[in-house]
A and B are shown apart, each in its own frame.
Chain A
Amino acid sequence: MKKRIATVSLAGCFGCHMALLDIDERLLDLLQSVEFDRSPLNDLKKFTRRCDIGLVEGGCCNEENVHTLREFRRNCDVLIAVGQCAVMGGLPVMRNAIMHSEDPLRECLETAYLNSDKIYNPSNRIPNDEALPLLLDKVYTLAEVVKVDYQIPGCPPSGDTLWYTLSALLAGKPVELPYELLRYD
C-alpha cells in the first residue's frame, strides 16, 4: 500500500513547497511509494482519508491557519513542521516584536493602508470585510498550537533535506539529519 502525504502552506512563503519540488527527478521515485492527499500541488481541497505524513509550512497568523493546522493534526499520523516559519515563526513573526508598540498588529495595518500619500483610500478604512479571516494578535509557531512530531529547520530546508527526511520515514527509520543538512538559513 502506498503511503499518503498531505501538505499545506499556512503563514509561509511557499519556499518550503518549492524545496520539496527541488527533489527534481526523485519526484518520480517518490510517487512509486507515495500518494498525495490534500495539497496545494493538486486540487484536493480537503482530506480524503487519513494520512501517514503531514507536511506543514508556515506558522499561524490568522484563525484559518489554526483551524487548518488542527485539521492536519487530526488527520495525520506524523506531523512535520517544515522550515523556519513553522518551527519558529520565521519572517512573519517579526510583527510580534515591533519595539515600543502597544499594538503591533494595528500599527502594521495602519502603515499598510492608511497614513500615506501613495494610497487612494477616501473612506480611510482598513480592509475589514467579513470575507477576511480574523488576524491573530500575534504569529504563533506550530508547536504552540498542536503537538508536532518533527521540526525540520532551514529557510527553506533543502530538497535533499526533505528527501532524506521522507526516505527515512517511509522506510520506517528514525530521522537523523546528517550535520551538513542541519542548517538554519
Chain B
Amino acid sequence: MAKTRVIEIDPLTRVEGHGKVTIHLDDHNNVDEARLHIVEFRGFERFILGRLYWEVPVIVQRLCGICPVSHHLAASKAMDSIVGVDRLTPTAEKLRRLMHYGQILQSNVLHFFHLSSPDLLFGFESDVAKRNIFGVIEAHPELAVKGIKLRKFGQEVIKLTAGKKIHGTSAVPGGVNKNLSTAERDYLLQDIAQMRGWAQEAVDIARGYTLEHMETVRGFAAFNSSHMSLVREDGAMDLYHGVLRAIDASGNVIFDQVDYREFNDYLMEEVRSWSYMKFPFIKRRGNLDGWYRVGPLSRMNTAGFIDTPLADEAHVEFRASTNNQPNHMSLAYHWARMIEVLHCVEKIDELLNDPDLQGDELLLKGERREEGIGVIEAPRGTLFHHYRVDENDQVSFCNLIVSTTNNNEAMNRAVTQVAKAHLSNRKSITEGMLNQVEVAVRAYDPCLSCATHALGQMPLDVELYDAQGELLERKLRS
C-alpha cells in the first residue's frame, strides 16, 4: 500500500488525549470510510496485577486527570465488594455522591466552556488563532469568567470531599476517610445560589444554540443508535448508582433493571487491529449491530425523569424537542451536558443541607470476597471496573471498560459522516474542514487517555486513501 497523500491533524486539540483519523477515498475521491485511531497504550490491566487492593482507588485515577474522581469512585465501589460491604453508611455514600456531583459539574463545564464553546461561539471554520478559551476570554470575558468560576466551584467541592482537586484520596474500600465539616459546608453554601443561576444560563446557551441551529445539528453526525446508562430503579437519572438500562434507536428496551455486577453477561469487547481502543457491544445483538452510545445524550434518552426540579424541567424540554423519541444528534450532547450541570448544582445544594454529611460513621467492614465490580456514570458515560483479589490481598485480575470506549463505534461513525459531508471530492482541504472533523469527535468529549487505559495522547491524523489503498495526501495541519 504505497502512500502518496495524507492529511494529518496532529495532535487532535481541545479534547483530552491524542487522536488520529484516517480517511479512505473511493475512485471518485469520495470518502468511503474514516477511522479514529487510538495510538497510545499503557498496559494498566497488566501492571496493576500484584498491587494491594486498597492502593487501587488512588492508582487507577491516574488514568485521567479530567475525571479522576470517577475512576477513584468506580474502583472504590469495586473494592467495597472486596471487603464485603454492599451498603455504605449514609455519611460515606453521601460524601462520595457530593464528590461525584462536583466532578461531573467541573468536567462538563470544562468541556463546554474551555474546550467546545469556541466552535459554537465563533463557528466551526472560524479563525484558528481565536478559536480557543483565550479567544473566548477576550471576546466574551463575562461568559468566560462564569465558566471558569463554575468549574472552580466543582473543583472546590472535590477538594473538600476528596482532599485534593485532582487525584484525591478520601474514598477507601468500605467507605470514606473524612466527612464534611460545617465550616467546609458553609464555605460551599455561600456560592450555591450564584452557581444555580449560572448553570441555568449555561442550559439556556446550549439549548439556544441547539434550537437555533437545528438544521446544522440535525445534519451533523446525527445517526440512529442504541443508548445505555445506569438509572435509578424507578427510572430517574442517577449518576452515582443504579441498574443498567439499554434502549434501541426507537426507544424500545433492550435490557433494563440489570444488576451491574452481571454486566459481563450483557457486554463484550471487540479488538480491531488499527486501534488500541476496543469496541464494546451488546452481546445479544452481536458485534455488528450491538454497538451503542453512552454519556449525557444517552442519559437524557434512557432516563424517565430527573429527580431535581430545574433539571427535570430542562429534561422535559429536551425530550420534547424530538417528540419524546430518542435524540440521536451528536451536537445535542452539549445541551444534555449542561442539563446535567444544573442537576449537579441542585444535588450539591441538597447534599450540603443534609446533616448526614457531618456524621462520623465513615467505614464498614464485612466478609472478604474475591471479586468486585464497580460501575458509575462518569461525565462521559458508563464506567466499568472489574477486579479479582487473591488471598494475599493482591489484585489478580483487572478489566476496565471506560466511558469513552463505549462510544468508540459512535465516534468512528461521527467522523466518517462528517468526513463524507465535508471532505469528499475536494481539490484541497482547509484547516476549517478538518476542524469540522474535530468538532464531531469533540461532541463526545472523549477522554482518549482513559480509553486506552493509558495516560496519554494520540495524534489526530487524517490520511486520504484512494480505491487501490494508495495514500493520496498527507498534510500537516498548521
Q: List 15 A-B contacts (CB under 8 A).
A: A13-B68, A28-B137, A28-B145, A40-B13, A43-B435, A45-B13, A61-B42, A91-B62, A99-B50, A104-B46, A118-B264, A119-B269, A120-B281, A131-B39, A156-B167
Within 8 A of B (CB), among A119-153: 119-121, 123, 125, 127-129, 131-133, 135
Identify the B interface with A (CB < 8 A).
9-11, 13-18, 20, 22, 35, 37, 39-50, 59, 62-66, 68, 110, 114-115, 128-129, 131-134, 137-138, 141, 145, 148-149, 151-152, 155, 164-167, 169, 264, 268-276, 278, 281, 287, 399, 435, 438, 449, 453-457, 459, 461, 463, 476-478
Whether A10 pairs with B137 at a CB distance below 8 angstroms is: no
Interface string of A68-106 (1 = CB under 8 A from B): 000000000000000001000011101101110000110
Pick from A24, A45, A113: contact of B148, CB below 8 A: A24
Residue in B closest to A114 when the chains form the complex, CB atoms: B271
Identify the A interface with B (CB < 8 A).
9-19, 21-22, 24-25, 27-28, 31, 36, 39-46, 58, 61-62, 64-65, 85, 90-92, 94-95, 97-99, 104-105, 107-113, 116, 118-121, 123, 125, 127-129, 131-133, 135, 155-156, 158-159, 185
CA distance A10 to B42 in the complex (A): 12
Known: A25-B145, A44-B128, A90-B455. A11 touches B270 (CB 8 A): no
Whether B14 pairs with A40 at a CB distance below 8 angstroms is: yes
Residues of A within 8 A of B133 (CB): 41-42
Whether B46 pairs with A98 at a CB distance below 8 angstroms is: yes
Known: A11-B42, A25-B145, A119-B278. A185 touches B271 (CB 8 A): no
A21 CB to closest chain B CB, in angstroms?
7
Whether A107 pairs with B37 at a CB distance below 8 angstroms is: no
Known: A11-B455, A45-B11. 9 other contacts (CB 8 A): A13-B65, A45-B10, A91-B455, A112-B41, A125-B271, A127-B273, A129-B275, A155-B167, A159-B165
Pick from B22, B47, B66, B272: contact of A98, CB below 8 A: B47
CA distance A91 to B151 in the complex (A): 26
Known: A95-B43, A95-B46, A132-B39. A85 touches B455 (CB 8 A): yes
Whether B274 pairs with A132 at a CB distance below 8 angstroms is: yes
Residues of B within 8 A of A133 (CB): 39
Whether A107 pairs with B65 at a CB distance below 8 angstroms is: no
CA distance A109 to B271 in the complex (A): 12
